[in-house]
Chain A
Amino acid sequence: MLLIHCPYCEEARPEVEFVYGGEAHIARPVDPSTYSDEQWEEFLYIRSNPRGRHHERWRHTHGCGRFFNAVRDTVTDVFETTYKAGEARK
Chain B
Amino acid sequence: MSGFRLADGGRIDRRTKRNFTFDGKAQWGYAGDSLASALLAQGQMLFGRSFKYHRPRGILGAGVEEPNALVTVDRGPGRRTPNLRAPSVALHDGLVATSQNRFPTLKTDLIAVNNVFSAFFPAGFYNKTFMWPRAAWEKVYEPIIRRLAGLGDSPTTRDPDHYDATYAHCETLVVGAGPAGIAAALEAAASGGRVILIDEQEEIGGGALSDPAQWAWLGEATAKLAAMDHVTILPRTTAIGHYHQNFVVAAERLTDHLSVDEAEGAREKLWRIRAGEVVLAMGAIERPLVFEGNDVPGVMLASAARTFALRYGVAVGRKVVVMAVHDSGWRDALALHKAGVNIAAIVDLRRDIAPELVEAAREARIACHPGYAVTAVAGSQAVKGATIALAGVGKVQKLDCDAVLMAGGWTPTVHLWSHAKGSLRWDDNWGAFLPDKTHENLRCVGACAGAWDFGKGLAGGLLPAPKPLHESKAFVDFQNDVKARDIGLAVQEGFRSIEHIKRYTTNGMATDQGKTSNLNGLQIASGVLHRPVTEIGLTTFRPPYTPQSFGAILGHHKEALFQPLRKTVIDDWAEAQGAVYENVAQWRRARYFPKGSEDMDAAVARECRTVRSAVGVFDASTLGKIEVVGPDAAEFLNRMYTNPWKSLEPGRCRYGLLLGEHGFIIDDGVSARLAPDRFHLTTTTGGAARVLNMMEDYLQTEWSDLDVWLTSTTEQWAVIAVQGPKARRVIEPLVEGIDLSPEAFPHMSVREGKICGVDTRLFRVSFTGELGFEVNVPAEHGRMVWEAIWAEGEKHGAAAYGTETMHVLRAEKGFIIVGQDTDGTVTPDDAGLGWAVGKKKPDFVGKRSLARPDIVAPGRKQLVGLLTDDPQLVLEEGAQIVADPNQPVPMTMIGHVTSSYHSATLGRSIAMALVAGGRDRMGETLHIPMPDRTISAKVVTPMFYDAEGSRLNG
B-facing residues in A1-27 (Cβ within 8 Å): 1-3, 15, 19, 21, 27
B-side contacts of A53, CB under 8 Å: none
Once the chains bind, are A44 and B243 in contact (CB under 8 Å)? no
Contact of B693 among A31, A37, A59, A75 (CB under 8 A): A59
CB distance from A17 to the nearest CB of B (A): 14
Q: When each residue 40-74 of chain A gets 1 if its CB lies under 8 Å from chain B and 0 otherwise, what string results?
A: 11011000000000000101010001110000000
Residue A28 lies at the interface, judged by CB distance under 8 Å to chain B: yes
Once the chains bind, are B693 and A35 in contact (CB under 8 Å)? no
Q: When each residue 826-848 of chain B gets 1 if its CB lies under 8 Å from chain A and 0 otherwise, what string results?
A: 00000000000000001100011
CB distance from A16 to the nearest CB of B (A): 11
Q: How far is the CA of A33 from the CA of B551 in the complex (A)?
A: 55
Once the chains bind, are A33 and B661 in contact (CB under 8 Å)? no
Contact of B843 among A2, A19, A33, A43 (CB under 8 A): A33
Q: When each residue 74-101 of chain B gets 1 if its CB lies under 8 Å from chain A and 0 otherwise, what string results?
A: 0000000000000000000000000000
A-side contacts of B697, CB under 8 Å: 21, 59, 67
Once the chains bind, are B849 and A2 in contact (CB under 8 Å)? no
CB distance from B515 to the nearest CB of A (A): 26
Q: Which residue of B lies closest to A75 (CB)?
A: B421
Give chain B's interface residue range (CB within 8 Å of chain A): 20 to 34
Contact of B842 among A33, A75, A85 (CB under 8 A): A33
Once the chains bind, are B701 and A32 in contact (CB under 8 Å)? no
Q: How far is the CA of A83 from the CA of B901 in the complex (A)?
A: 52
Given contacts A1-B247, A32-B843, A32-B847, A67 and B852 within 8 Å (CB-CB): no
Once the chains bind, are A44 and B245 in contact (CB under 8 Å)? no
B-side contacts of A75, CB under 8 Å: 421
Contact of B702 among A19, A28, A76, A78 (CB under 8 A): A28
A-facing residues in B655-705 (Cβ within 8 Å): 661-662, 693, 696-697, 700-702, 704
CB distance from A30 to the nearest CB of B (A): 9
Q: Which residue of B lies closest to A69 (CB)?
A: B701
A-side contacts of B848, CB under 8 Å: 32-33, 35, 40
Given contacts A32-B843, A78-B439, A40 and B852 within 8 Å (CB-CB): yes
CB distance from B362 to the nearest CB of A (A): 54
Residue B244 lies at the interface, judged by CB distance under 8 Å to chain A: yes
Once the chains bind, are A44 and B842 in contact (CB under 8 Å)? no
Given contacts A1-B243, A76-B421, A85-B701, A19 and B849 within 8 Å (CB-CB): no
A-side contacts of B849, CB under 8 Å: 40, 44
Q: Which residue of A lies closest to B247 (CB)?
A: A1
A-side contacts of B421, CB under 8 Å: 75-77
Knowing that A44-B661, A59-B696, A65-B696 touch, tell me 19 more A-B residue pairs with CB under 8 angstroms. A1-B243, A1-B244, A2-B245, A28-B661, A31-B842, A32-B847, A33-B843, A33-B847, A35-B848, A43-B661, A59-B693, A61-B693, A67-B697, A67-B701, A75-B421, A76-B439, A78-B439, A85-B701, A86-B701
Q: How far is the CA of A33 from the CA of B669 in the complex (A)?
A: 26
Residue B853 lies at the interface, judged by CB distance under 8 Å to chain A: yes
Given contacts A2-B244, A40-B852, A59-B697, A27 and B702 within 8 Å (CB-CB): yes
Q: How far is the CA of A3 from the CA of B697 in the complex (A)?
A: 22
A-side contacts of B702, CB under 8 Å: 27-28
Contact of A85 among B243, B247, B439, B700 (CB under 8 A): B700
Q: Which residue of B lies closest to A28 (CB)?
A: B702
Q: How far is the CA of A66 from the CA of B236 in the complex (A)?
A: 43
22 contacts between A and B (CB under 8 A): A1-B244, A1-B247, A3-B274, A19-B693, A21-B697, A28-B702, A31-B843, A32-B843, A32-B847, A33-B848, A37-B852, A40-B848, A40-B852, A41-B852, A44-B662, A44-B849, A59-B697, A61-B693, A66-B700, A67-B696, A67-B697, A85-B701
Residues of chain B having any CB pair with chain A under 8 Å: 243-245, 247, 272, 274, 421, 439, 661-662, 693, 696-697, 700-702, 704, 842-843, 847-849, 851-853
Residues of chain A having any CB pair with chain B under 8 Å: 1-3, 15, 19, 21, 27-28, 31-33, 35, 37, 40-41, 43-44, 57, 59, 61, 65-67, 75-78, 85-86
B-side contacts of A35, CB under 8 Å: 848
Q: Which residue of A lies closest to B847 (CB)?
A: A32
Q: How far is the CA of A50 from the CA of B697 in the complex (A)?
A: 24
A-side contacts of B247, CB under 8 Å: 1
Q: How far is the CA of A89 from the CA of B848 in the complex (A)?
A: 27
Q: How far is the CA of A44 from the CA of B850 in the complex (A)?
A: 13
Q: How far is the CA of A19 from the CA of B38 in the complex (A)?
A: 52
CB distance from A7 to the nearest CB of B (A): 13
Q: Which of B243, B274, B700 has the most CB of A within 10 A?
A: B700
B-side contacts of A32, CB under 8 Å: 843, 847-848
CB distance from B712 to the nearest CB of A (A): 10
Q: Which residue of A lies closest to B243 (CB)?
A: A1
Closest 5 CB pairs of A and B: A32-B848, A2-B244, A67-B700, A3-B245, A28-B702
Q: How far is the CA of A31 from the CA of B842 in the complex (A)?
A: 8
Q: Which residue of A lies closest to B249 (CB)?
A: A1
Q: Which of B274, B697, B701, B704 has the most CB of A within 10 A?
A: B701
Q: Which residue of B lies closest to A21 (CB)?
A: B697
Q: How far is the CA of A83 from the CA of B410 in the complex (A)?
A: 47
Q: How far is the CA of A29 from the CA of B847 in the complex (A)?
A: 12
Q: How far is the CA of A31 from the CA of B704 in the complex (A)?
A: 16
CB distance from B627 to the nearest CB of A (A): 15
Q: Which of B245, B247, B849 has the most CB of A within 10 A?
A: B245
CB distance from A31 to the nearest CB of B (A): 7
Q: Which residue of B lies closest to A76 (CB)?
A: B439
CB distance from A25 to the nearest CB of B (A): 10
Q: How far is the CA of A21 from the CA of B749 in the complex (A)?
A: 37
CB distance from B748 to the nearest CB of A (A): 30
CB distance from B416 to the nearest CB of A (A): 16
A-side contacts of B274, CB under 8 Å: 3
Once the chains bind, are A86 and B704 in contact (CB under 8 Å)? yes
Q: How far is the CA of A78 from the CA of B702 in the complex (A)?
A: 27
Q: How far is the CA of A1 from the CA of B272 in the complex (A)?
A: 10
Q: How far is the CA of A1 from the CA of B421 in the complex (A)?
A: 14
Q: How far is the CA of A13 from the CA of B661 in the complex (A)?
A: 31
Q: How far is the CA of A60 from the CA of B704 in the complex (A)?
A: 17
CB distance from B209 to the nearest CB of A (A): 33
A-side contacts of B847, CB under 8 Å: 32-33
Q: Which residue of A lies closest to B697 (CB)?
A: A67
Once the chains bind, are A85 and B852 in contact (CB under 8 Å)? no
Q: How far is the CA of A59 from the CA of B696 in the complex (A)?
A: 10
Q: How far is the CA of A10 from the CA of B244 in the complex (A)?
A: 20
Q: How far is the CA of A27 from the CA of B661 in the complex (A)?
A: 12
Q: How far is the CA of A66 from the CA of B187 in the complex (A)?
A: 43
Q: How far is the CA of A48 from the CA of B27 in the complex (A)?
A: 65
Q: Which of A32, A40, A43, A75 has the most CB of B within 10 A?
A: A32
Q: Which residue of B lies closest to A39 (CB)?
A: B848
B-side contacts of A66, CB under 8 Å: 700
Q: How far is the CA of A29 from the CA of B662 in the complex (A)?
A: 14
Q: How far is the CA of A38 from the CA of B847 in the complex (A)?
A: 16
Q: How far is the CA of A77 from the CA of B438 in the complex (A)?
A: 12
CB distance from A64 to the nearest CB of B (A): 11
